[in-house]
Amino acid sequence: MSILLSPLSVNGLTLSNRMALSPMCQYKAVDGLAGAWHQAHYGARAIGGVGLVMLESTAITAEGRITHGCLGLWNDAQEQALRALVANGHDLGAAMGIQLNHAGRKGSAQVPWHGGKALGINDGAWPVPAPSALAQDGGMSQPTAMSRDDIERTVAAYAAAAQRAVRAGFDVVELHLAHGYLLHQFLSPLSNQRDDEFGGDFDGRTRFPLQALQAVRAVLPAAMPLFVRLSCTDGVPGGWTVDESVKLARLLRAAGVDLIDCTSGGIAPPQPRPAGVAFNADAAQRVRSEGDIATGTVGGITDAAQAEQILATGQADLLLLGRALLSDPFWPLRGRRELVPSPYLRAQF
């Protein structure tokens, strides 16, 4: 039997297969609300056969958005809209996950197709917090260093958003500790130059992310999986390393994390990526074996044979598919007639 099509049990949830939609920002929300675009986009991937549909980065506060077009989960209207989205995904056969995030210094930005730079004062810009008053490269907003009270309020906001996610019916909650957003900013010595208990050494830089995770785990049902998306390396000298990711993985497991979704980069300008090479799989394997925790991997996964090899060699337990599913929502169905929904059997898969 194909490993890719085999079930995966994570805590109290069993996924029908090892394929998941990777969280990818759509920038199509209005006031943080999911709408027709999100129903169609996520519904198509559920019909397409992935075991888990993971929603895009969803802001825990208004100031935690990347752009004006980001989904949010800080008020009742947003919760209600996501409840309808989750119900639709369940009806179409997929488990539904949500990625909770705070953009930190990468917030208050234009959508990518308008340049992705800092919003101007006439564009509805908002102040952005960060561990230190260091701006992201590339024309992003100048942040303000967070106070201890800011950190406490943000921890509470993560927990409140997680409670809303439970009420909305999600099966999985994921926290974003990657791609240069707030929790990753605290992890990386390139962005965190604090001299208090939330900076400095490994213990200081991981303190706030661990507090956020513990607060979220405390409000989730015991059997509900908690994932973390982790940039396992910054990919530049002086940044966060795979060795530190392995060390953090052990702490995450102890804090109640069930799976680490292994990715890379985001703090510094991106490095060139080889086409068709699963460039995060080796880090996922190290985190899995040395951290004694289930992992997913994302990035450069383009075909089924490659995906099977990643699973067969123990590099990861779950494959998160991004660009492959953007261009082809039915990627999981190709060559797998047993997965094709009955109304689509007339088509050529």
Nearest CA to 236 out of 268, 277, 283, 192 is that of 268
C-alpha distances in angstroms, 310 versus 156, 182, 323, 340? 37, 30, 18, 24
Strand partners, 67: none
Q: Where do we find the tokens 């090479």?
A: 277
Beta carbons within 10 angstroms of residue 311's beta carbon: 19
Kind of pairing between the strands at 19-21 and 294-298:
unpaired
Residue 129 tokens read as 């917090």
User: How does strand 8-10 pair with strand 13-15?
Assistant: antiparallel
DSSP conformational letter for 339:
G
Q: Give the dihedral sign, CA 164/168/169/173.
A: negative
Indicate which residues carry an active-site annotation.
Answer: 181
Encoded tokens for 6: 């085999």
CA 140/CA 109 separation, integer angstroms: 7
Long-range contacts of 106-112 (CB under 8 A, 24+ apart): 106/66, 106/136, 106/140, 106/180, 106/181, 107/63, 107/64, 107/65, 107/66, 107/141, 108/65, 108/141, 109/66, 109/67, 109/140, 109/141, 110/67, 111/27, 111/67, 111/68, 111/69, 112/27
